[in-house]
Structure 1
Amino acid sequence: MAQELVQLAPGSKVERWTIEKKLGEGAFGAVYRCSDKTGQYALKVEGVNEPIQLLKMEVFVLTELSKAGGRHFCKIEDKGRFENFFYVVMTFVGKSLQDLRLVAPGKKFSPATAIAVGIQCLEALEDLHGIGYLHRDVKPANYTIGRPEIKEVRKVYVLDFGMARKFVHEDGTIKKPRNVAGFRGTVKYAPVACHAQREMCRLDDLETWLYMQVELTKGSLPWRNLKDMNEIGRFKKSCRFDLPMKQLFGGCPREYIDILRVIDGGKFFDEPDYPKIYNLLRQAMKNLGCSEHDKYDWERWDEDRKKWEEEKKKREEEEKKKAEAAGKDGAKPADANNNEKKEEKKDDKKDEKKDDKKDEKKDEKKDEKKEEKKEEKKEEKKDKKEEEKTGAAADDKKDKKEEEKARLTWAG
């Protein structure tokens, strides 16, 4: 019975490692993201009293792989015991193939990506077998890509060696199979031998890999809706024949069928024909007109996302310009208003100067009119005087005539 899982709070310390976030947990332990001054890493923990010590096997396998120069494995940065648990600090990786598949259109990769990634997954198994170990739990969730920040999105890592088993003795000879080995792995991907409770060999790891490969390529396996593990085992066994084989490999390159025949053609003690399988995978790519150097789906998704973000930014800028243009007749941005106010002030000053000049001219005209009026009045006065003089002279003449007439009258 499993003990209570070790729980670490964000911000807590395990030796020099600061816990940042819990990434996941299994039956016997948990995985956290941690960091020190050199960067971010993954930290796995397992209670010291767990009945099955999976972490020990993981550390041993990764150490051996590091010595052998394994191509697709995490590097151990630190390991030890802290309080009531064992821990191991290793490379912090990116998303799993399972997570990537589930967000892909149709929940499957493009043929080019599926096959190119499949080659890397097979290389990882070949390296693991090379140090004398079987994985026994091959599935998309146990393969990841590297982190984008360190430009490793094209590199595939294999994880989780808790179920690994050494299949060779110290002298390098292969161990004889046990009569009953029990079930190991995940039912969906497990090989036929596992369903039959038989000892697994290297070819069984490859059979599991091929089922995973089919799912990455077409998005599903034909037994996905079956619940009974024995029924699933019978279905897998029947896939060596006509109709079930079509159900399994329909929508996949025909070379997958040839790969199954290569796997089934080997015996328990035989070394798998890795070169032949690689050749078949590369032949499939050639027939499809693609290559291992093509961009992986998630690289294209990232480019599409960046392109979409750029287009969105461009649209927002265009809308802003339209709003500014439309705002000329209404509310306008502060900068535009300030500029316009400055221009208005300049115009006002110009108008003021013009008005001043006009006023000056008006004043000049007024003065001229005043002078004219003065002159007119002078003229009028002069005229009146002249008139008065003329009138007085006339009156004098009239009076003289009247006086003369009166004298004559009195005289007579």
Structure 2
Amino acid sequence: MLTVSCCVTNAAPEHTVSREVQSTLAADFPHMTRDTYQSIVGVHYSVGKKIGEGSFGVIFDGMNMLNHLPVAIKFEPRKTEAPQLRDEYRAYKTLRGSLGIPNVYYFGQEGLHLILVIDLLGPSLEDLFDWCGRKFSLKTTVMVAKQMLSRVQTIHERSLIYRDIKPDNFLIGRQGTATENLVYVVDFGMAKQYRDPVTMQHIPYRERKSLSGTARYMSINTHLGREQSRRDDLEALGHVFMYFLRGGLPWQGLKAQNNKQKYERIGEKKRSTRAQDLCAGFPPQFAEYMNCVRNMRFDEEPDYDYLRDLMTDALKSVDEKEDGEYDWMLLNDHKGYNSTNKKPNLHGYGHPNPPNRTHHTQRRAKPAGQPEKPKNTVPPAAPVSQQQSYQDSNHYQSVSAVQSQNARTAPKLQHPTQTLDPVPTPVEDAPHKPATDPSPEQQNREQQKAQSSARKGCFSCCA
């Protein structure tokens, strides 16, 4: 779901929506307004308020009119340049029933759009990290790390590698629900099979591969152009853990004349930073984790239990216990984060008010190579796409459910609902466009296409 991403501030940005998307949405849903939409899709899903958008996509909250449960509804034009919703559906079908994986309820065609209906979730770990002052305590980091390890293990056990580990792609449940502190993983646009699910034959080792992932967290081997496997997901997780503990990573903020040189500098800095130095000042188990995953063979099966035990031992070493109390639960005088007055943000879910405290903002990644987007001056209504903004579509914040009375009286679509045939469970490995620095002659063309390179070969830089 990702060209190379430079960074933007944490402020909720405005997104520019293509004229093509505006026209197709207007054709399908002529009665819809900018922020409030009343329609029925997928036979019995009412479409509510817009909770996020991107260059080629939009996401709404909604309700299952049969059981009145809240859902998230993603829209994607059928003729988008970089389609991803079908691949997203395939991944969810592969992983269905797994803990920490959103349920998918419907995938089908509505007029000129494909739609996907999934669980409505809460904020991302990146946002929680920001609201907590851009540092997590050791206890919160350990409890989150063990959940993240379990989610990645689940993905690996289904013969997939994730390939875009970042805090933005891990969400918690909606506030006030039984799963409000359960970590979910979303945004499977970069997922790939690393072995045949029947024969369990591992893919061969290759080099000179195009970059895929997010520069800040990706593994050293990924920077070197080596085929990714399970070890690379785990190394990227280790970088996320240290990001939480340190409040940043040594290779953030590096400068270069162009993006290609910047990515090379990030990779060089990672290679020159020893695990002991990266993890200095924290329990030695974190350095042990980093050394373990960096020394794994390409096709080696990880010992997930051992890695989780390292996290447990790290917390025991400072005489703390896993009591289920996360840092974000202590905000606002132990009331937790404030989920009122939401506003669509970079990730595509409602943005709760930040806690009652002063905190600095830090640059956040947007799809690499993408120009700064001007403030939106036209009514945005677009289906979810773009890696950063479709990760958007996978990051949801709890929003007010559509009133059942409104849902029943909402005007129906002019187009008949058409459910697509089920797609194969395995996620096929589509070729990815290399993330390279465009030549001067290609600059204008690359900028125009940057918004649509949301998934294939995408690579984000959040240095």
The TM-score with structure 2 as length reference comes to 0.61
Name 1:344's counterpart in structure 2. Answer: none
**Structure 2 residue 69 is matched with structure 1 residue 43:** no
Alignment of 1:184-223 (within 5 A): 184-223=212-251
In the TM superposition, what is the alpha-carbon distance from 1:59 to its structure 2 partner? Answer: 1.0
Q: Cα offset for 1:260?
A: 0.8
Q: CA deviation at 1:237?
A: 1.1
Q: Which residue of 2 aligns with 1:174?
A: 202
Partner of 2:113: 85
2:86 counterpart (56, 66, 69): 56
Shift of 1:36: 3.1
Indicate how the Cα distance of structure 1 residues 252 and 20 shifts in structure 2: closer, same or farther if over 3 A, else same. farther
1:148 counterpart = 2:182: no
Runs of 4+ in 1 over 6 A off after TM superposition: none
Deviation at 1:303, TM superposition (A): 5.2
1:224 aligns with 2:252: yes
2:268 aligned to which of 231, 234, 237: 234
Partner of 1:260: 290
Amino acid in the other structure paired with 2:94:
E
Give the distance between the partners of 2:111 and 2:84, measured in 1 at CA.
18
Larger Rg: 1
The 8 Å contact of residues 210 and 260 in structure 1, kept in 2 or not, is answered as yes
TM-aligned CA deviation for residue 77 of structure 1: 1.4
Contact 1:57 1:162 survives alignment (8 Å): yes
Q: Which has the higher helix share?
A: 1
Deviation (angstroms), 1:286 = 0.7
Residue ranges of structure 1 left out of the alignment (5+ in a row): 307-412
Quick check: 1:214–1:252 contact (8 Å CA) kept in 2?
no
Matched-pair contact (CA < 8 Å) for 1:5–1:30: no
User: Pick from 149, 158, 165: which aligns with 2:192?
Assistant: 165
Compare relative contact order (CA 8 Å, sep 6+) and give the higher one, 1 or 2: 2
* CA offset digits 1:276-317 (Å, max 9, x no partner): 1111100001112222224111222265348xxxxxxxxxxx
- Unpaired runs of 5+ in structure 2? 4-16, 26-31, 256-261, 337-463
Checking the alignment, whether the CA contact within 8 Å between 1:218 and 1:251 is kept in structure 2 is no
Offset of 1:76 from its aligned partner? 0.7
RMSD of Structure 2 on Structure 1 (CA): 2.3
- For 1:271, the equivalent position in structure 2 comes to 301
Alignment-derived partner of residue 375 in structure 2: none
* Secondary structure at the counterpart of residue 288 of structure 1: coil
* Structure 1 CA distance for aligned equivalents of residues 83 and 274 of structure 2: 37
Contact 2:167–2:240 (Cα < 8 Å) also in 1: yes
Give the match's secondary structure for 1:31. Answer: strand
Aligned residues, how many? 300
**Aligned partner of residue 265 in structure 2, secondary structure:** helix
CA distances 1:2-22 after superposition (whole Å, capped 9, x unpaired): 974465742232333233233
Aligned to 1:22: 50
Which residue of the other structure, out of 271, 276, 279, is the alignment partner of 1:249?
Answer: 279
1:281-300 paired onto structure 2 within 5 Å: 281-300=311-330
- Whether the 8 Å contact between 2:131 and 2:328 is mirrored in structure 1 is no
Alpha-carbon distance in 1 for matches of 2:293, 2:192: 20
Counterpart-to-counterpart distance in 1, 2:52 and 2:224: 31
Identity over aligned pairs, percent: 28
